[in-house]
Chains A and B, each alone.
Chain A
Amino acid sequence: MAQMQTVHFNLNGKDVERTVDVRASLTDMLRNDYRLTSVKKGCEVGECGACTVLIDGEAFNSCIYLAVWAEGKRIRTLEGLLGPNGELSDIQQAFVEEAAIQCGFCTPGFILTAEEILESGREYTDEELRKLLSGHLCRCTGYENILRAVKKTMYQRLGKEVPQV
């Protein structure tokens, strides 16, 4: 008999509750119970970053986070960044403009880590941004365009011009 538990949390701005198997990862719950398929199943051991979500504003690999730990937390997935009519957020738009996407598998995770970085309201150097983005693997783009998209949005949000190299 599976051990079940009811968890209450805020998901993309909405208070929700769910009774889940205690063996479930947060990835399992978000994908299977809420159909939030932006949360990708990649390595499932916390190495690739494809399953990244924001929990109380910090980026976590949801594959190595128990679903029951969501109790009382505020969880955001890529779907939560969209506007009321499905409009792309600035960081998503920047990924499109900078061609920071190819197959798209790593993209939701990258964008959520980028969101954590951007919400700090700080200005980072390229070196710092590379380190802050280093918990994600991308097998297509080679990272430069991703870095550019994050950097561009960082300057936009800070109300500054993107420095020309």
Chain B
Amino acid sequence: MYDMKALYQAADVADAVALRLAHPEAQIIAGGSDVLVQMREGKRAGAELISIYGLDELRGVSLEEDGTLRIGSLTSFSHITQDPLIQKYVNVLGEAVDQVGGPQIRNIGTIGGNTCNGVTSADSASTLHAYDAIVELTGPEGVRRQPIHEFYIRAGKVDIREGELQTAILIPKESYENTFGHYIKYAMRNAMDIATLGTSVNVRLSADKRYVERVRVAFGVAGPVPLRAGTAEALAAGQPLSMDLAERFAQAVKEDINPRDSWRAARDFRMHIAVESAKRAFIESVKKAGGEL
């Protein structure tokens, strides 16, 4: 038995909004792989829960008319990885979420929960930052769309307002079009571990595949919230492909990141693996895009 004060099960999104307004203290539960564990640990003991797990309308990946990739907030990690649209347009997202926890966790864990809990180590978060994803929130006033880097306020705190719930994550076409990416999770174990550092890179090459048209790099656990390394991105944009460029790009990430010392790893170690991961992920992304270094 969970130490839960009450459970309210939403019948649809409108009902979820109504329940949020009626029970402002209640915690939303999606798949529960964070919330129920925290409840078991006593952190959320005695809480009221609003379950949105039954809302099938928030599951699945689709392409909107303007080419925006729409990922329902309750889509599980395993379904994201298996989805043909994800594999075709944002391969790196499917590969990144395939490194969350273990297989059973990937069947229950949702991308909405992964982003709403606001942790910097979330395996989906760095890739979503690197793609300038938009978070869709539905509340009493209707739908609100917010860039993901504004959605994260501070460690463990995201911008979900009174009565709101996250209903989708959107990736605009101009962001994913013609890109190839790679994610590196650095952790102590291959499974059932939290990232010491997560690095997500995606590149768009010129038509002749000799120049970097655009590169994006974002990190998890390189700061209190997931963050982009704009200096490195600007340095590599428009440059001809070379191993030297990969090296300079990787070194430049140090300008933007600010990891901390924790029991998992020292700041200096995280700085070191951030540079190395950025380099490797850049090289791998270029290869996937058909470029040569």
Contacts and interface: CB of A to CB of B under 8 A. Distances in A.
Interface of A: 3, 21-25, 28, 44-47, 49, 52, 58-61, 64-66, 68-69, 71, 113, 131-136
Given A46-B105, A135-B102, 14 more contacts: A3-B6, A21-B1, A22-B4, A22-B6, A23-B7, A25-B1, A25-B2, A45-B41, A46-B101, A46-B108, A66-B7, A68-B7, A71-B54, A136-B102
Contact of B104 (A28, A45, A135): A135
Contacts of B107: 58-60
Contact of B37 (A52, A64, A131): A64
B200 interface: no
A23 B3 contact: yes
A117 to B, nearest CB: 9
Contacts of B37: 45-46, 64
18 contacts: A25-B1, A25-B2, A25-B36, A44-B40, A45-B40, A46-B36, A46-B101, A46-B105, A58-B78, A61-B108, A64-B32, A64-B108, A66-B36, A69-B54, A71-B54, A113-B103, A132-B103, A135-B104
B33 interface: yes
A61 B40 contact: no
B190 interface: yes
B104 A66 contact: no
Interface of B: 1-4, 6-7, 9, 32-33, 36-37, 40-41, 51, 53-54, 78, 101-105, 107-108, 190-192
Given A23-B4, A60-B107, A134 B192 contact: yes
Given A44-B40, A64-B32, A66-B51, A135 B3 contact: no
Contact of B103 (A28, A59, A69): A59
Nearest to A45: B37
Nearest to B9: A68
A113 B102 CA distance: 11
Closest 6 CB pairs of A and B: A135-B102, A134-B191, A22-B7, A23-B1, A135-B104, A135-B103
A65 B108 contact: yes
A135 B36 CA distance: 18
A76 B2 CA distance: 23
A76 B213 CA distance: 51
A35 to B, nearest CB: 18
A134 B191 CA distance: 6
Contact of B1 (A28, A60, A113): A28
A69 B105 contact: no
Nearest to A49: B104
B26 to A, nearest CB: 13
